Amino acid sequence: VSAELVVLPDWLAAISEWLRDQSELTDLVDQRIYTELPTTKTFPLARIAHITDPPIASPTHWAVDATFQLDVWGGPKAITWTIAETARALITQRFSGHAWELAAGRVVAGRVRAGGIRRTTDSLTTTGTDADTSSETAGARPRARFDFAVVLHP
Amino acid sequence: MFIPSPNIDGVLAAAIEADLVKAGRTIISNAADVWPNDTGHYDQSLRVKVDERGVVVQTDDPAGHIIEWGSARHQPQAPLRTAAADAGRFEPK
């Protein structure tokens, strides 16, 4: 029997915290990178979701191949895409290959595989405040999303 | 003399098609397991198809894209990606 119980960190809390620490991203979206969209929204904003994290070497409970999805709602289409692409660039070029000390725990990020950015416009109307004008707007929002997989371990 | 096949991708695709269909059926089974079946007919909408895209797993559910990818009002449930990751290595495209 192993003396130490390995409990993995909350990957979603860790990566959302990490994204909110990146100045290139906060210059575009401030701290509005959520895991659940707030009731009162200021646009543009982003949401990250954790899809799954199967262990890569079962039964060893240590490293996982985790899949996430990042959604951005704008904002003009161009800003929406720029935020998504900046997040993708940061995740593939900076997050990968390093150990990060975060409030959610120590996270080591291995190889990242990111998918393409899909650009759509919502078919439903969302009400919120425009960050640039501080005025309330309602409309179908441009959306950019991509998913990515990353090998993670404590 | 070895002559490289100009259509090696087609030859390989044909050679592994049966195994990919089998893997697709595993993904469907996994997706049906992770999705609650007490409402709707999502589990019955899952298909393995062989067409010009190759071997694909897809849903015919009209709300399938929202179930998989979410919306401003719904978190992505991602049963197909979860099932693909459970069946092997999932690579985002």
What is the distance in angstroms between the Cα of B60 and the nearest Cα belonging to chain A?
Answer: 19
The token duo for A126 is 């969302």
A43, A71, A117: best mutation site toward chain B, by most B Cβ within 10 Å? A71
Q: How much of chain B, in percent, has pLDDT values that exceed 70?
A: 97
What is the distance in angstroms between the Cα of A143 and the nearest Cα belonging to chain B?
Answer: 9
pLDDT at B33 exceeding the cut of 90:
no
- DSSP structure class, residue A13: H
Q: Quote the pLDDT of residue A143.
A: 96
Strands (E), B1-93: 46-51, 54-59
CA atoms within 13 Å, Cβ hemisphere of A147: 21
Q: Quote the pLDDT of residue A135.
A: 92
Q: Quote the pLDDT of residue A2.
A: 60
Mean pLDDT of successive 10-residue segments in chain A (154 residues)? 83 98 97 96 97 88 95 94 98 97 96 96 90 90 97 96
- DSSP structure class, residue A94: I
d(CA A62, CA A40): 38
Q: Quote the pLDDT of residue A93.
A: 97
Q: Quote the pLDDT of residue B89.
A: 80
Quote ipTM for the complex. Answer: 0.88
Strand-pairing partners, residue A70, are A48, A146
What is the distance in angstroms between the Cα of A59 and the nearest Cα belonging to chain B?
Answer: 14
The token duo for A73 is 């709602």
Q: Quote the pLDDT of residue B5.
A: 84
- DSSP structure class, residue A38: -
Q: Quote the pLDDT of residue A20.
A: 98
Q: Quote the pLDDT of residue B88.
A: 84
Q: Quote the pLDDT of residue B66.
A: 93
CA A114 from chain centre, in angstroms, equals 12
A51, A112, A127: best mutation site toward chain B, by most B Cβ within 10 Å? A51
The token duo for A59 is 């039964």
Q: How far apart, in Å, are the Cα atoms of A4 and each of A7, A9, A61?
A: 9, 15, 11
pLDDT at B36 exceeding the cut of 90:
no
Across B39-45, average pLDDT: 83
For tokens 């979206």, what's the residue? A29
- Phi, psi at A119, each rounded to 5°: -110, 120
pTM of the full predicted structure? 0.91
pLDDT at B37 exceeding the cut of 80:
no
pLDDT tens digits, B54-79: 899 999 999 999 999 999 999 999 99
The terminus-to-terminus CA distance of chain B in angstroms comes to: 38
Q: Quote the pLDDT of residue A91.
A: 98
Q: Quote the pLDDT of residue A123.
A: 85
For tokens 């080591």, what's the residue? A108
